[in-house]
C-alpha cells in the first residue's frame, strides 16, 4: 500500500490531474486540496504554475450565478492583483452587497492570504464616513472573502479623467475652473480626514491612489487596505527592500524599500492625489515602472504651476494649492505635513478663503533646504573610508611639494620652468605619486572596477574626468611656457572649486560650500604663493573628511 506522504503518491495525483485535463475536464483545485491535505502546498504550486504556463488564452474563472453562503453572485465588478469583487444579493436582509474574494482562491500562498486578512481586519476595525466598512468575513470552499456595502458610483480616477479632458479642452471659464478646483479640494479634505482616522488607529494604508477611493452619493470612500500596515505588523509584511504600492503615488522612502515606514508615506500620496485631481495626470509618470521609480527617487515635488495643462489659471486658490502640494510631497518625510489631519486643516483653510499654513518658503529656508539635500546618499554611503584615504594621499603629496620646494630647492624662482629639476622633483613626481595613490584607493574600494556601476555614479565620473583633463591642460600650458608656475596652483584651486560646486547639483548640496572654500584658497594662493600647496592640499583634506563623515557605511 502506498504511503500518502510519499513522492510516488504525489506523482500519481499529478498524473491523474493531467489525464483528466487531456480528456477535456477541468479538475477542481479545491477538490484535490481537500482530498490530499498532506500535499496541499505542492498542489497549490502545481496548479498555479500549470495555469500560468498552459492557459494563457483561457478566460479567468468567474463565480457569477454561484451562491456563497447567503450571498448570490450577480455580476463581476472589478478584478485586481489582490482579489475579485462581485455584486451579490443577500436574501436574508434583502440588500445588495459587494463581496471580495481572494484573487488566487484556494491557490493563494500564505503571504497573499495574510495580506488579504490584514485588509479585512484593517477595514473592519475602522468606522469613519470616508472609509468603506466591512459587513462580515468568511471562507467558502477554502477561499477567503469579506463583504462590503455596494457602492454605485465610480472611483475617484473617473474624476481625474474628467479633469484631464476638461484641461485639454481649455474652454472652461474661470468660474467653472474654480468650481472644479474647490470640488477637488473638498474631496481631498474628506479623504485626508479618513486617512488621519486610520493613522490614529495605528494603520498606514501604503497604497493610496484615485483608484482606491470610491465615490458613493458624492462622498469619497477609501477602499483596498491590501497593503495596509499595522504598527504591530509582523516582519513578514514589512521586510526591508520590499517595494510595495503604486509607483506613481509612492514616496521616495517607499520606493527605496525602507521597512520602517511612517504615516508620512500616506501624506505624500495624498499630495499626489491632489495633484492628479487638479491636473488630470499622476505626479510621476514614465514608460515603465523602473522609470517611474527613478523619477520618484530623483525628481523634486511636481509643480502645479508648471504641470497644469495650457498654463495654470490665475486663481489664488491654485497658487495656494501649489504650496500645499509642495509641502505634502516634500522629498524628506520630516519636511511634509506632520499628519494627514494637518493637511486636511490647510485644505479647509483654502475652502473658506483663508491662506494655508504651507506658505511660500523664504529665500534663506529654501537655500538651506537645497544645501542639505542629498538625492543619492544611499548610493555613496559606503564611500567614507575611501574618501578619507583620498584626502590623506592628496594632503601628503602637497606637503611633499611644499617641503621639497622650500627646503630642498631653497632659491626656487616664482617663474619656475616646467623642465627644471626642482619642477620635476618638487611638482611632477609628487603629483604622479598622488594620482597613483588615489587610483589605488579607488580601485581597492571598488574591488578593481573602474567604470561606473550605477546611474548615480556616472555624473560624478564625468565631472572628475573633466577635472583631470582640464588640470592636464593647465600643466601643458605651463610646460609650453604660456603659464607661470604660480598660476598652476591657483588654477588647480579654481578647478577643484568648480568640480565640487558642480557635484552639489547631483549629490550633497553642501559640497557647493566646500567648492567655494577652494575658490577662497585660490585667492589665498595669489596672496601667499609659497604656501599654495598647503592651501590646496589642506582644503582637500578638510573636504574629504567632511564627505567621508557624510558617506560613511551605515551599520
Residues 333 and 208 both lie in one domain: yes
Query: For residue 215, what is the domain's CATH number?
Result: 1.10.510.10
Residue 213 DSSP code: E
pLDDT at 43: 67
498 inside domain: yes
Average pLDDT over residues 408-433: 74
Residues 111 and 50 both lie in one domain: no
555 inside domain: no
Residues 95 and 172 both lie in one domain: no
pLDDT at 190: 97
Residues 198 and 332 both lie in one domain: yes
Residues 388 and 509 both lie in one domain: yes
Which H or E run contains 78?
Answer: strand 71-79
Residue matched to cell numbers 467653472: 176
Residues 285 and 421 both lie in one domain: no
Rounded to whole angstroms, the Cα distance separating 17 from 32 reads 9
Number of domains, the chain: 4
User: Do residues 328 and 304 make contact, with C-beta atoms less than 8 angstroms apart?
Assistant: no
Residue matched to cell numbers 485626508: 192
Residues 32 and 95 both lie in one domain: no
Share of the chain above pLDDT 90, in %: 29
The residues carrying an active-site annotation are: 207
Residues 196 and 96 both lie in one domain: no
Rounded to whole angstroms, the Cα distance separating 193 from 195 reads 5
Burial of 513 (0-12, 13-18, 19+ CB in 10 A): middle
377 inside domain: no
Residues 410 and 289 both lie in one domain: no
pLDDT at 330: 92
Cell of 429: 613626481
pLDDT at 234: 44
Look at residue 7 and tell me whether its pLDDT is greater than 60. no
Residues 205 and 348 both lie in one domain: yes
Length of the chain counted residue by residue: 555
Residues 171 and 297 both lie in one domain: yes
309 inside domain: yes
Rounded to whole angstroms, the Cα distance separating 279 from 312 reads 9
The tens digit of pLDDT for each residue in 166-190 reads 655 555 666 677 888 899 999 999 9
Look at residue 2 and tell me whether its pLDDT is greater than 90. no
217 inside domain: yes
Residue 145 φ/ψ, nearest 5 degrees: -155, 160
- Mean pLDDT for the chain overall: 81
Q: In the chain, count of helices (H) and strands (E)?
A: 20, 10
Residues 257 and 303 both lie in one domain: yes
Residue 101 φ/ψ, nearest 5 degrees: -110, 145
Residue matched to cell numbers 575658490: 519
pLDDT at 273: 95
User: Do residues 385 and 445 make contact, with C-beta atoms less than 8 angstroms apart?
Assistant: yes
283 inside domain: yes
- Full domain range(s) for residue 530: 384-550
Rounded to whole angstroms, the Cα distance separating 128 from 134 reads 11
CB hemisphere CA count around 109 (13 angstroms): 7
Look at residue 379 and tell me whether its pLDDT is greater than 70. yes
pLDDT at 103: 64
369 inside domain: no
Q: Which of 54, 35, 344 is nearest to 186 (CA)?
A: 344
Query: For residue 115, what is the domain's CATH number?
Result: 3.30.200.20
373 inside domain: no
Amino acid at each position: 500500500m502506498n504511503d500518502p506522504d510519499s513522492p510516488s503518491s504525489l506523482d500519481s495525483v499529478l498524473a491523474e490531474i493531467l489525464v483528466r485535463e487531456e480528456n477535456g475536464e477541468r479538475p477542481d483545485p479545491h477538490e484535490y486540496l481537500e482530498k490530499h491535505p498532506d500535499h496541499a502546498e505542492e498542489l497549490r504550486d502545481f496548479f498555479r504554475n500549470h495555469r500560468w504556463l498552459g492557459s494563457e488564452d483561457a478566460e479567468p474563472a468567474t463565480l457569477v450565478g454561484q451562491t456563497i453562503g447567503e450571498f448570490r453572485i450577480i455580476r463581476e465588478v472589478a478584478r485586481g492583483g489582490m482579489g475579485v469583487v462581485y455584486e451579490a444579493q443577500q436574501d436574508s436582509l434583502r440588500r445588495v452587497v459587494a463581496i471580495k474574494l481572494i484573487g488566487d482562491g484556494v491557490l493563494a500562498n500564505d503571504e497573499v492570504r495574510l495580506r488579504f486578512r490584514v485588509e479585512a481586519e484593517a477595514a473592519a476595525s475602522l468606522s469613519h464616513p470616508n472609509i468603506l466598512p466591512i459587513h462580515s468575513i468568511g471562507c467558502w470552499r477554502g477561499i477567503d472573502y469579506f463583504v462590503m456595502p455596494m457602492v454605485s458610483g465610480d472611483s475617484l480616477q473617473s474624476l481625474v479623467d474628467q479633469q484631464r479632458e476638461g484641461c485639454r479642452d481649455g474652454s472652461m471659464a474661470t468660474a467653472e475652473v474654480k468650481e472644479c478646483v474647490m470640488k477637488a479640494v473638498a474631496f481631498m479634505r474628506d479623504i485626508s480626514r479618513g486617512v488621519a482616522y486610520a493613522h490614529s488607529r495605528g494603520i498606514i494604508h501604503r497604497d493610496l491612489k484615485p483608484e482606491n477611493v470610491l465615490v458613493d452619493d458624492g462622498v469619497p470612500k477609501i477602499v483596498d487596505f491590501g497593503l495596509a500596515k499595522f504598527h504591530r505588523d509582523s516582519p513578514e509584511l514589512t521586510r526591508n527592500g520590499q517595494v510595495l504600492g503604486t509607483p506613481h503615488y509612492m514616496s521616495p522612502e517607499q520606493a527605496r524599500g525602507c521597512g520602517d515606514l511612517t504615516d508620512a508615506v500616506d501624506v505624500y500620496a495624498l499630495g499626489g492625489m491632489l495633484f492628479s485631481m487638479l491636473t488630470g495626470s499622476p505626479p510621476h509618470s514614465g514608460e515603465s515602472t523602473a522609470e517611474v521609480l527613478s523619477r520618484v527617487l530623483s525628481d523634486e515635488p511636481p509643480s502645479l504651476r508648471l504641470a497644469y495643462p495650457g498654463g495654470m489659471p490665475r486663481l489664488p486658490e491654485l497658487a495656494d494649492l501649489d504650496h500645499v502640494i509642495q509641502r505634502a510631497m516634500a522629498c524628506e518625510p520630516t519636511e511634509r505635513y506632520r499628519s494627514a489631519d494637518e493637511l486636511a486643516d490647510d485644505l479647509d483653510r483654502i475652502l473658506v478663503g483663508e491662506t494655508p499654513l504651507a506658505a511660500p518658503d523664504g529665500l534663506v529656508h529654501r537655500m538651506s533646504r537645497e544645501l542639505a539635500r542629498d538625492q543619492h546618499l544611499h548610493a555613496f554611503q559606503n564611500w567614507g573610508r575611501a574618501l578619507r584615504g583620498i584626502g590623506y594621499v592628496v594632503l601628503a603629496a602637497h606637503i611633499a611639494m611644499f617641503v621639497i620646494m622650500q627646503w630642498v630647492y631653497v632659491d626656487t624662482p616664482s617663474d619656475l620652468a616646467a623642465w627644471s629639476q626642482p619642477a620635476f622633483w618638487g611638482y611632477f613626481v609628487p603629483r604622479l605619486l598622488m594620482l597613483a595613490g588615489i587610483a589605488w584607493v579607488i580601485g581597492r574600494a571598488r574591488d578593481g572596477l573602474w567604470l561606473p556601476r550605477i546611474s548615480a555614479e556616472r555624473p560624478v565620473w564625468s565631472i572628475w574626468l573633466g577635472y583631470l583633463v582640464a588640470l592636464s591642460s593647465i600643466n601643458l600650458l605651463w610646460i609650453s611656457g604660456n603659464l607661470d608656475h604660480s598660476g598652476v596652483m591657483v588654477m588647480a584651486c579654481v578647478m577643484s572649486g568648480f568640480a565640487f560646486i558642480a557635484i552639489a547639483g547631483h549629490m550633497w548640496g553642501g559640497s557647493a560650500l566646500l567648492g567655494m572654500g577652494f575658490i577662497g584658497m585660490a585667492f589665498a594662493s595669489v596672496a601667499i604663493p609659497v604656501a599654495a600647496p598647503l592651501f590646496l592640499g589642506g582644503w582637500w583634506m578638510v573636504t574629504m573628511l567632511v564627505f567621508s563623515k557624510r558617506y560613511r557605511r551605515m551599520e
